[in-house]
Amino acid sequence: MNLLVFLRRRLGLTGTKLGCAEGGCGACTVMVSRYQTHTQQLNHYAVNACLTPLCSLHLVAVTTVEGIGNVAQKLHPVQERIAKAHGSQCGFCTPGIVMSMYALLRNNPAPKMADVEEAFQGNLCRCTGYRPILEGFRTFTAEGGCCRGKGRDNGCCVANSGAADVDEASSLFDAANFRPLDPTQEVIFPPELVSLSKGQRSHSLRFHGARVTWMQPTSLDEFLQMKWEHPDARVVVGNTEVGIEVKFKNMLYPVILAPAFIPELSAITHTEDGIVFGAACTLSHMGAVLREAVATLPPHQTEVFLAVLEQLRWFAGQQIRNVAAVGGNIMTASPISDLNPVFMAASCKLTLRDKDGSRVVQMDDTFFTSYRKTILRPQEILLSIEIPCSQQNQFVSAFKQSPRREDDISIVTAAMSVTFIPNTSVVEDLRLSYGGIAATTVLAKKTASKVLGRSWGEELLQEVCTSLAEEMTLDPSAPGGMVTYRRTLTLSLFYKFYLMVLLKLQRQGLNAAPLRSDCLSATEIYRPEIPSSTQIYQAVPEGRSQNDVVGLPVMHLSALKQATGEAVYCDDIPLYENELYLALVTSSKAHACILSIDPSAAEALPGVVCCVFAEDIPGSNATGPIEYDETVLAASQVTCVGHIIGAVVADTQLHAQRAAKAIRVEYEELQPIVTVQEAIAARSFYQPIRTIQKGDLEAGFKQADHILEGEMHIGGQEHFYLETNATLAVPRGEDGEMELFVSTQSASKTQSLVAKALGVPANRVVVRVKRMGGGFGGKESRTTILSTVVAVAANKLKRPVRCMLDRDEDMLTTGGRHPFYGKYKVGYLDSGKVVALEVSYYSNAGNSMDLSMSVMERALFHMDNSYRVANVCGRGYVCRTNLPSNTAFRGFGGPQGMMVAENWITDVAHSLRMPPDQVRRINLYEKGDWTPYNQILDQFTLDRCWDECLERSGYQRRRAAVELYNRQNRWTKRGLAIVPTKFGISFTALFLNQAGALVHIYTDGSVLLTHGGTEMGQGLHTKMVQVASKVLGVASSKIHISETSTSTVPNTSPTAASASSDLNGAAVQNACQVLRERLEPYRTKNPKGSWEDWVKAAYFDRVNLSANGFYKTPDLGYDFESNCGRVFNYFSYGAACSEVEIDCLTGAHKNLSTTIVMDVGHSLNPAIDIGQVEGAFMQGLGLFTLEELHYSPRGVLLTRGPGSYKIPAFGDIPTQLTVSLLRDAPNDKAIFASKAVGEPPLFLASSVFFAIKEAISAARAESGISGPFRLDSPASAERIRNACSDQFTKLCPPAEPGSFTPWSVQV
């Protein structure tokens, strides 16, 4: 059992969350404290509870988020500040982030911002965009909070904001109101644990489980004896590798040895030659020792130490480094280890030992014998590693290239060491070690031997690169893919090393080859800058009623509860008596007939109650949000990997999941269609094929001076809501009634599909939603694939049944954003004006229709983005494939449609050699223009957003600076791009544009508000309370929203399409106006009375104090056949300018600055709206630059968790981020002149993509390449590097397509 299960299930402490079960998201972070007897000191450190074995916590104190503060008694300053700084939206990640910060402050009460950022390397947030979290916690640091206009090195918010107008505000919270941090008031370490720690270590510990024995020896001799008796036993210190193997690879280790407390294994010894670290020394402790050595030793002795420290900077997250041991890292023998190449290049010595003696081996290319195998004998253990001091003439560097800098596994990792003959630049020894190029960490011995005795210069460089290209070969089908990129990196990284050494030789005054000044930037080691930010919004006029909080930056209503762990999510609901747990059985084939299902092995396992299959469904097995083209449980055929075939119900989650893996399904495989290109070839499309056409296309192309054709692919995206799908179904025992607690955006759709599966009317099913830990569209329609199965199981057993999917299950089964392939033909004039456009979109819908037709329709409605094209034709093909059905995702096809538009506008600019911003401006819509779907653009603010963005970003100044930088630097390039957006607001399905509300006023004056929307972090409930408060004229503290339920507001539309504040706000307004009118006579009669007086008077006068509200959006309705009618109620506009810097040698990039101007009308809540803008932007940043879903050619998802699928982290925020809400832009078509904000800002992150593309263009120009080029999305490090053609890419040409089976395919 791990600590997380113990906390949540045994102790009922549900503040600590399960986000991934692999230590990659930080949601389960707690602080552990241990008394070290040898130093007589307390150690506090953050750990991942999901990976911490309960057995390892003997004599350890555990502090959870509940233990440091609560809402009722006293908040801890960490909890208060993250909440009041608006750093908690959905709140699911908040307890983990709170505990990471808390652990940092327990060790360092006055940290620097760099310490804060390091502490958060192992934490993820999908909602906030991270900025408000850092801003809140900046107030703890030496850098402090707001400088109050006194100026600060990294940019004063007052100076940067340009907020000169008196009604412009730039502060969302007042740090002066925060409770001070008092380190003397923290929870003390239990004194009894100190006493026990001093008196223990006399005997070892043994824990015997049903399948595993855990042994914790106290002496080295005892450990060696145990290893002799159990040679196959796994040795565990941090459990960061074994925990993953047991959970995700179904490994079983009957005996585990835990030697963490053996003094010799944790000892650190300084010798003349270096530092000897015991194998159980943690990585964070090793880093601290090495940093101290670097500070005290002569610089020439610390080259190896610095190389190790460079790798440790980006090694996993702080929680992992705090427990992972250096010996475990070596013995895991991972071919992509960050540290092993350094140890190999530095010729580190390893001491191996068994009960008969010890031996010392050098870490070289013989140490790793094959994939994850070493030369150690089964009975041997690794005792220690000696990391040597470097020599006088030795230079060492280490490199790591990964998709994301923070907490990411390597694509290629390398360490290089060169030793010169004294006082020369002649090579005496060269060691080049690489990970990620073979099944083991390797040394490039052939290459190194060729250059011994040679001078460090251009000839040596050419020799090494040519030789490396031959020696470091990689099978085109190699696991991990990216073969061309990985091979190129071996050369590029050596070139970086070559330049670094050249620079050091020059500084020593040795006669070396000259180093060009434009190559210097390639030698710089990345050091992140502390981000600065500015938020600008229009302040509300003074003199308003204090009960009118609309327009104020009110804190999210649940933020404090979320920060203390008291907010209840679906899986936090206490266990019911007699409750059971369900685990899914899913298909392992993409397309196959089911021949047989054998549950006998599963049914014989402990704790199993029953199995559920299609024949157990009492109602209909047909399901789906629009078309009933799916099954609740597959009966005869599976059409994707992850297709749900059945379920196992057992007494615990562990038993259910273990049994689910024991069910045997026999298939007859059929040929799957996986990619869009395969679907096009097979004409595998859902009908109809949508078309929007306006103008005369043929005439337009004849008018054009130039015609250009192009294409691009936009990858899919995983929602990665921190709370995975969860359902608790409770049969009510009579009339077929059932109550479901579900994490869903669509309570009514869940109700109807569960009722359909159970064969009962919808009035027997109640669906309740308290809150979600994120949704982003992923919980609009796909939640029902789980809730229907759980309901069927609960109905069969007449007992409560619960299921919360593990992260890998959720990613496998629920689908994501649609991958799109776009082809276009564009005609344009010499001036850059586009006069004709023909575009075709192909989306990968997956194995069912779901919402894919609506997604494609929205893509077509956004094919113009913000540009007027007189003659246009767009077609949309929805491809049927054998992938899990893709679904709604923030933007709902709009970002894909607009991305293709920005691509062709960029191509036009490149072909004419015009600045892209000029071409964009020439083609920008103007007020009164008509869209391709014949909707007029009134209340138009796009031009204002564009102009303000140019001004606030200092665009022209930045443009000149970028051009100068690019002239002065060969191997790093900068790019700048400004991108507009126009996003239509309304459901494209007419009937969904409606909402209801129910408001009760109780006799004590309190108000219970219910509406049809659900809360997933976007602050909808907070805004609805603000609306009700304003309309009723009562303090918002008197208004409460408990939950969303189908028993209070029926037939609700999903909380989606950015329209929930508009729809539900108007419904709430309607209900509150009815109540206000009913109370008006009593206000008039008693004008000096209180709210409570008026309510009581009305009650005694028998006035109904409950009211329904309803709203439907007027004047909507579009017809594709005639291309007429209003599609959208209005448009949200915005513009963003971003500057980036790319490393042409590795493909890595830095987000230097972003300025966003967004029209949100009159903001209902500027704090929430700015949070939505920033959160959407960061999610878009992931979509366009980072996040990649990899599928095998047979349709198997290969990226199933945070270890392999990377969303943006804290370090991905632009160094300078400015968000300005457009002032004086009321919108008469929505509640209180506001506008929708959830989805529209997401596409503005494409400004980063196109800035990257501009930087790549500058790099290609150095190689004499100009004009348009294809860059697919996301602009990953691999794509950036491969697009920057140079002498290194030419040495590593890609294999011919069709000559090999790739590891993954572009779907």
Backbone angles phi, psi at 247, to 5 degrees: -75, -45
DSSP string, 63-105: E-GGGT--SSS---HHHHHHHHTT--SS-SSHHHHHHHHHHHH
Q: How many Å apart are CA 481 and CA 694, to the nearest integer?
A: 43
Cα gap 1285→1280, rounded to integer Å: 10
For β-strands 820-828 and 213-216, DSSP reports them as unpaired
> Residue 797 CB: number of other CB atoms within 10 A?
18
- Phi/psi-derived region of residue 637, left when phi > 0, alpha when psi is between -120 and 50, beta in every other case: beta
Q: Is 669 a catalytic residue?
A: no
Helices vs strands, H then E, count in the chain: 38, 48
Which amino acid is located at 1249 in the chain?
A: F
Distance between CA 730 and CA 790 in Å, rounded? 10
User: What three-state secondary structure class fits 35?
Assistant: strand
Asked whether the beta carbons of 1248 and 1142 are under 8 A apart, the reply is no
Which H, E and C letters describe 1057-1107, residue by residue? CCCHHHHHHHHHHHHHHHHHHHHHHHHHHCCCCCHHHHHHHHHHCCCCCEE
Amino acid at 443: L
Before 1193, cis peptide (omega within 30)? no
CB 753 within 8 A of CB 850: no
Q: How far is CA 252 from the centre of its chain?
A: 30
Please state whether beta strands 644-650 and 580-586 pair in parallel, antiparallel, or not at all (unpaired): antiparallel
The single residue of 902, 948, 1239, 1254 carrying the catalytic annotation is 1239
Please state, in angstroms and rounded to a whole number, the distance separating the CA atoms of residues 351 and 369.
17
Q: CA 842 → CA 687, 851, 877, 884, distances in Å? A: 13, 15, 5, 17
User: Which residues contact residue 1035 at a Cβ distance below 8 angstroms, ignoring those fewer than 6 apart?
Assistant: 546, 547, 1029
Helix residue spans in 163-281 (DSSP H): 191-199, 220-229, 242-248, 263-266
Contact 1107, 1031 (CB under 8 A): no
* CA neighbor of 855 nearest in space, from 995, 756, 742, 717: 717
What are the tokens at 908? Answer: 């036009």
Contacts of 213 (CB under 8 A, 6+ apart): 206, 207, 254, 255, 256
| Spacing of C-alpha 49 from chain mean position | 20
Tell which residue, 1127, 1161, 1158, 1121, has the closest CA to residue 1057: 1127
Torsion sign over Cα 121, 124, 130, 132 = negative
Question: Cα–Cα distance between 246 and 289 in angstroms, integer?
Answer: 32
| H or E segment to which residue 515 belongs | none
Strand order, beta sheet including 412-420: 394-401, 412-420, 427-435, 442-443
CA atoms within 13 A on the CB side of 380: 18
Write the DSSP symbol of residue 179: P
Q: Which two tokens stand for residue 1160?
A: 């949100």
In 3D space, the residue among 818, 858, 903 whose CA is nearest the CA of residue 1307 turns out to be 818
Catalytic positions, please? 1239
